[in-house]
Amino acid sequence: MSLRYITLLSLICAGCTSFGGAEAPNASHQKNILLLCIDDLRPELNCFGATHIHSPNIDRLASGGRAFHRHYVNAPSCGPSRYAMLTGRYPVKGRGNEQLRVRAKDVAEDPAGVPPSMPEWFRMHGYTTVSVGKVSHYPGGRYGNGWADESLPELPNAWDRHLMPVGEWENPLGAMHGYANGKKRIKASGENFVYESVEGPDTIYPDGLIAEEGVRQLEELATGGKPFFLAIGLIKPHLPFGAPKKYLDLYDGVAIPPIPHAGKPAGQTTWHGSGEFMGYNRWGKDPRDDQAFADEVRRHYAACVSYADKQVGDILAKLKETGADRDTIIMLWGDHGWHLGEHSIWGKHSLFEEALRSPLIVYYPGIGKAGQESDAVVETVDLFPTLCNLTGVDVPDFTQGISLQPLLNDPAASGHGAIACWNNKETIRTDRYRLVVHPSGAVELYDHTSPEKETLNIASVHPDLVVTLKMKLRKQLER
């Protein structure tokens, strides 16, 4: 298979920003950062309680670090969720998936008026910053024709090297929704199957190439003499659910657990008709009324999770081989959750728990109480200040998150509320409740200590609690 790259070299001085920089600290005292972003990964991992899932590499990472079992993203879609992760700020209402694209235009129009992104901030503080795969919204981080126009970066000034291996898929757009062996999704084609499984090595799908490039970058960065910030973004388990057959074979004869609260919810909620999923060729089947097909879809999702887990394992093995693991903070993050039939939804884009809860694992040598999980409520905007604290880099005052360092020292420490928004609807998740506020004024209130959880709206019987949580939501958005 031929290997082609779309690359971008940032040539703009990293210190040229009105938000101020700092002289590069002594590299010998600086921790490296390895950020692993996995697309559409809900907590469908053995270490998060999905015991039917084969995920030994991520499980091993969790066993030596801190798995946050109640981490919530700030939007149930790739673009705004990654905006929150990469800027430390809540998504802007009305921008939807175009958060980073609009921000890039704002930077072009007023470079001094837009705070630096997280990788830019670390670059300003002496780090070599490299991105491989899907880290921002578009794989390769560009929003031009085929997402390959080098003049349109989503994160201006962020990366020293920005790489997207595309192989036979020819461009990032082709790789994003790629089938095996270079076949691309064509929307008008009846060949756009919702899942597939093909014999072959890991590189017959794009993530095999992304992991290989990530390994190459690790080898170079480990001997570069400077601290590095390496972000690697894997595409699976994003639709279509395709992975080499050996990963589907892991689930032969494995019992798939029943879908909890699978019925369509009553009343006004953020339920939707699963348009992204239903747009694929499903051979005339619908998992909402065909249990056998639902289980088959879930097996293919599981196969994609195991495929992604293998790529994570290869990357972590190379990190250890270089010796840089002794000086590296590893952060594994899922960009949002994904419904596999809960609330009769197959996809994301809701404000239910399933679309907002995603895996977060932090590892570094010497972490307090290694292997103990945290059940504190935390959110994606917390990642930026956390990495600053762990590396000794100044925490910028424009971030809206709260550092997770206390929870990394002690998993029993307290969390805080988690905010998310989508289509002008907003939600806050606290330790016990979820409140959803609609533009019409309608509200949903759910008690997670009750057996019904997010199937019983109790807003009408707790009006004072609704008011309290609305005030908490507003206050948190404004911090």
Do 265 and 354 lie in one domain? The reply is: yes
Number of DSSP helices (H) and strands (E) in the chain, helices first: 13, 18
Do 459 and 389 lie in one domain? The reply is: no
- Do the domain assignments include residue 389? yes
- The pLDDT value recorded for residue 181 is 98
Condensed to tens digits (0 to 9), the pLDDT of residues 449-468 reads 999 999 999 999 999 999 99
Q: Is 37 an annotated catalytic residue?
A: no
386 Cα distance to chain centroid: 16
pLDDT mean across residues, the chain: 93
Condensed to tens digits (0 to 9), the pLDDT of residues 99-117 reads 999 999 999 999 999 999 9
Give the three-class secondary structure for 477.
helix
- Cα–Cα dist 79/155, whole Å: 12
Candidate list 78, 304, 388, 421, residue with the active-site label: 78
Q: Is residue 359 pLDDT above 60, yes or no?
A: yes
Q: Is residue 3 pLDDT above 90, yes or no?
A: no
DSSP 8-state assignment for residue 29: G
Task: For the chain, give the percent of residues with pLDDT over 70.
Answer: 94
Q: Is residue 431 pLDDT above 60, yes or no?
A: yes
- The pLDDT value recorded for residue 151 is 81
The residue out of 416, 440, 469 marking a domain boundary is: 416
Across the range 84-101, mean pLDDT stands at 95
Q: Is 388 an annotated catalytic residue?
A: no
Count how many domains the chain has.
2
Do 410 and 438 lie in one domain? The reply is: no
Do 343 and 444 lie in one domain? The reply is: no
Do 316 and 365 lie in one domain? The reply is: yes
- Do the domain assignments include residue 421? no
- Do the domain assignments include residue 66? yes
Structure tokens at 403: 């550092």
Do 41 and 79 lie in one domain? The reply is: yes
Range of the domain at 464: 432-479
Residue 416's Cβ-count burial label (10 Å; 0-12, 13-18, 19+) is middle
Q: Is residue 17 pLDDT above 70, yes or no?
A: no
Do 46 and 195 lie in one domain? The reply is: yes
Position 373: which residue type?
Answer: E
Do 303 and 440 lie in one domain? The reply is: no
- Do the domain assignments include residue 198? yes
- Do the domain assignments include residue 263? yes
Contact assessment for residue 66 and residue 362, using Cβ atoms and an 8 Å cutoff: yes
Contact assessment for residue 409 and residue 421, using Cβ atoms and an 8 Å cutoff: no
Which CATH number fits the domain that encloses residue 212? 3.40.720.10
Condensed to tens digits (0 to 9), the pLDDT of residues 257-314 reads 999 999 999 999 999 999 999 999 999 999 999 999 999 999 999 999 999 999 999 9
Condensed to tens digits (0 to 9), the pLDDT of residues 111-167 reads 999 999 999 999 999 999 999 999 999 999 998 889 988 788 999 999 999 999 999
Structure tokens at 229: 């910030």
Give the three-class secondary structure for 35.
strand
Within 13 Å and on the Cβ side, how many CA atoms surround 413? 16
Q: Is residue 213 pLDDT above 70, yes or no?
A: yes
Rounded (5°) CA angle 208-122-81: 60
Q: Is residue 13 pLDDT above 80, yes or no?
A: no
Do 34 and 69 lie in one domain? The reply is: yes
Q: Is the peptide bond before 257 cis (omega within 30 degrees of 0)?
A: no
- Do the domain assignments include residue 90? yes
The residue out of 388, 416, 444 marking a domain boundary is: 416
Do 334 and 472 lie in one domain? The reply is: no
- Do the domain assignments include residue 347? yes
Q: Is residue 18 pLDDT above 80, yes or no?
A: no
Do 129 and 51 lie in one domain? The reply is: yes
Do 57 and 179 lie in one domain? The reply is: yes
The residue out of 416, 442, 463 marking a domain boundary is: 416
Contact assessment for residue 113 and residue 459, using Cβ atoms and an 8 Å cutoff: no
- Do the domain assignments include residue 301? yes
Candidate list 137, 238, 343, 349, residue with the active-site label: 137
